[in-house]
Homo-oligomer: A and B are copies of this chain.
Amino acid sequence: MRIGELAARSGVSVRALRYYEEQGLLEANRSGSGQRHYPESGVERVHLIQMLYAAGLSSRTIAELLPCVEAKVSTPESRARLFAERDRIDAQIAGLTRTRDRLDAVIASTGSPASGCTYIADRDVATQASSR
């Protein structure tokens, strides 16, 4: 498939795919005229890349780890890297959990008791929260 289709199917932009290639995360077969062509497995690969990005890894780190994630092969160095990233993610989860619990506490304290001020008179629930 060509780049537009891969973009559509994997949910990222065409620009992002070219960027991934530039960073050595995603390879493409080039047709005679220079157009990129990807195998079906490209979709899965892009999802994997996105997952690692979402975990806070940089493109450089991803480039280092992708081969051993895909090929299930690792050198001692890459194993150390895998462990380090795993632990970092663990720590991140722990921190996020504490943050969430703290937010829960705030919600509870401002919401339930007679701490004043909080009227659940829902007047405009349509205020969609545009986070992110």
Which residue numbers of A lie inside 8 Å of B, CB to CB?
10-11, 44, 47-48, 50-56, 61, 68-69, 72-77, 79-86, 88-90, 92-93, 95-100, 102-104, 106-107, 109-111, 115-123, 125-132
Which residues of chain B are within 8 angstroms of A121 by Cβ–Cβ distance?
76
In Å, the complex CA distance between A119 and B117 comes to 55
Shortest CB-to-CB span from A58 to chain B, Å, is 9
Q: Residue of B at shortest CB range from A123? A: B76
Least CB distance, A90 to chain B, in whole angstroms: 6
Q: Is the interface of A mostly helix, strand, loop or mixed?
A: helix
Instruction: Name 5 A/B residue pairs within 8 A (Cβ), A-sorted.
Output: A69-B106, A76-B118, A83-B129, A93-B100, A130-B132
Q: Is the CB of B99 within 8 A of A96?
A: no
